[in-house]
Structure 1
Amino acid sequence: MKLVRIQEMENYILANGTVSIDDLCERFDVSKNTVRRDLNRLTEKGVIEKVYGGVTATEKQLIPFENRHHVYNDEKVRIALHAASFIEDQDFVYIDSGTTTKWMFDHFPEDKFITVLTNNLDVINAVSDKENIELFVLGNHYQAKTRSFVNISSFSLNKYNVDKAFMACTGASISKGLTNADLHEYEVKKSIVQKENELFLLADASKFGQSTMLTYAPLSRVDHIITSAPLDESYKTFFQEENIVLHTV
């Protein structure tokens, strides 16, 4: 599938810094014309620039999902626990996949009775034995690399009236919005943010100013942003204009 190939090509270039046209042809088993067309898409997006015989990355390397559990861990825990404080008794909440949202229920009070909808394996494990939390699980195919369940129909999502959605992202920026690197998870995230609910973004400061190929929502869609360090003034101005509440923990 073209979108998947371009996504994988972007990740490969970001991981290696500079690569040749011949290298990309061999790795993805496509012609030079196909590679050039794909690279034009990435050039327009601004993540690469062309050099003699190849291309070079213009953005910081994104950390592969399987390694994110060990990076910025203290920040992720603080963000998650603060996010959990916004959940009220009787709330029906969606908890997104990701390495930050997994910590939300580590110290969740037993006197709050809520309903959780999620496709996040770590969240499922965290709440499955809590008597005060009713659990609904999305997806019928487990994706090991992101520890989440995917293959979710829009019909199955539409039947749920979620009060609050706690979302993660691979990158966040004013121009590209909330982005994700996995095509299957993109479909889930996009469906959730299109519903009428209060939207919380959980993202450590390293995520801002980065982007991947798939935008699942504009940044203006967010109601609350919970992050780990002060952000650039351009973000603060944008948040004020869009009535987005910034929480730095």
Structure 2
Amino acid sequence: MAKKITEVEEYIFKNKEVKVQELMEVFKLSESTVRRYINQLLSDDKIQKEYGYVTANINDNLINIKARIDHLSDKKILISDLAEPYIKDRDTIFVDSGTTHMHLAEIMESKKDLTIVTNNLLFAIKVIDTDLDVNLIMIPGSVNRKTISATGDAAMRFIDDFYFDKSFITASGVSLENGLSNRTLPECDIKRKIISRSRLNFAMVDDTKFNQIYPFSFGDIGDFDYLFTNKKPDEKYIDYIKTVKTKIKWS
């Protein structure tokens, strides 16, 4: 059941809005089985139920990581494309946990002699599965099963040996009141550490992250040199960014 319900969850997030009948046909399941899966996902707050169909709950705190990669993927590709001109041959780059920058692997294909350091296991696997001319370094540590990333004291100590040309950092929420915030504390510790050890810091957030506040703040918008997003945010963000060093770009 666990594997099949995960496949159903991923399908819902990929398609955003799905009817019960469609799930029955795609997965060759009975109506009672589909409704049992739906009730389980509803109880876990992973989906929402509307009249005649179910939708992905994009506000869920830590939804299935594979589903998150597919969700909003077009926006994530646009955001990653903005980073391409800033990545230079022989750069040492840090890529943190999250899915917004998963498409960075594709835009790095034209670069030479890169060093990529990451605590993001899925991103590391994606890099390995390409022909990138890179030296890939995986940060050690305790693996968070929800974010598929390494964190903890071992990871923090390991980062002390590096200084990065550029870092690419994601966030669960962006607000003027709380800056960039995340759902879990261990990832925030890593993000803060990286910001202090990188020459240029790039925040990568899609438009759904703005005006969202989560428990753990890891930096102000002004701590970043660039903020990349897929569409122009509210004017209040534009006005604030004019007062700090940050440059904002949208696709």
Contact 2:140 2:158 (8 Å CA) reproduced: no
Supply the distance in 1 between the matched residues of 2:193 and 2:178 (Cα, whole angstroms). 18
1:104, distance to aligned residue in structure 2 (A): 0.5
Residues 1:234 and 1:110: Cα distance change in structure 2 (over 3 Å): closer
Following the alignment from structure 1 to structure 2, what is the Cα–Cα distance between the partners of residues 182 and 224? 23
Aligned to 1:228: 230
User: Taking every aligned residue pair, what percent have the same amino acid on both sides?
Assistant: 24
Aligned residue pairs: how many? 192
For 1:107 and 1:244, the matched residues in 2 are separated by 23
Whole-angstrom distance in 2 between the partners of 1:65 and 1:143: 13
Is 2:70 the partner of 1:70?
yes
Kept in 1, the 8 Å contact 2:61–2:183? The answer is no
Inter-CA distance 65–195: structure 2 relative to 1 (3 Å threshold): farther
The question of whether the paired residues in 1 share the 8 Å contact of 2:166 and 2:202 is answered with yes
Deviations 1:105-127 (A, max 9, x none): 12423452210010111210122
The alignment partner of 2:232 has SS state of: coil
Instruction: Note the alpha carbon deviations across 1:112-156, whole angstroms, 9 max, x for none.
Output: 221001011121012225351001111232222112122244331
Distance 2:111 2:61 in 1: 37
- The correspondence for 1:164, drawn from 159, 163, 166, is 166
Measure the CA separation in 1 of the matches of 2:84 and 2:111.
Answer: 14
**Per-residue deviation at 1:84?**
3.4
* Residue number among 175, 183, 197 corresponding to 1:173 in the alignment: 175
- Structure 2 distance, partners of 1:230, 1:153, is 35
Q: Secondary structure at the match of 1:175?
A: coil
Question: Displacement, 1:99?
Answer: 0.9
Give the match for residue 137 of structure 1.
138
Bigger mean CA offset, 190-199 vs 233-242: 190-199
Alignment of 1:104-115 (within 5 A): 104-115=104-115
Cα 1:61–1:216 change in 2 (3 A) is: same
Indicate conservation of the 8 Å contact 1:81/1:105, yes or no: no
Q: 3-state SS of the aligned residue for 2:242?
A: helix
SS of the equivalent of 2:78 reads helix
Distance 1:111 1:233, change over 3 A: closer
CA–CA distance in 1 between the matches of 2:138 and 2:82?
Answer: 23
Give the conservation status (yes or no) of the 8 Å contact 1:227–1:247.
yes
* Runs of 4+ with >4 A deviation: none
Rounded Cα–Cα distance in structure 1 between residues aligned with 2:63 and 2:235: 28
- Alpha-carbon offset, residue 196 of structure 1: 4.2
How far apart, in 1, do the equivalents of 2:237 and 2:110 lie?
A: 36
| Distance in structure 2 (CA, Å) of the matches to 1:61 and 1:195 | 31
1:6 corresponding residue in structure 2: none
Could you tell me how far apart the structure 1 residues matched to 2:60 and 2:119 are? Answer: 23
Deviation (angstroms), 1:68 = 2.6
Deviation string for 1:194-238 (max 9, x for gaps)? 224201010001101111000011111011011011111110011
One-letter code aligned to 2:83: A
CA deviations over 1:167-211 (Å, ceiling 9, x no partner) = 000001111011011122121112111224201010001101111
Task: Identify the residue that residue 147 of structure 2 maps to in structure 1.
Answer: 146
Q: Which runs of 5+ in 2 are unaligned?
A: 1-44, 47-57
Partner in structure 1 of residue 119 of structure 2: 119
CA distance in 2, matches of 1:200, 1:122: 20
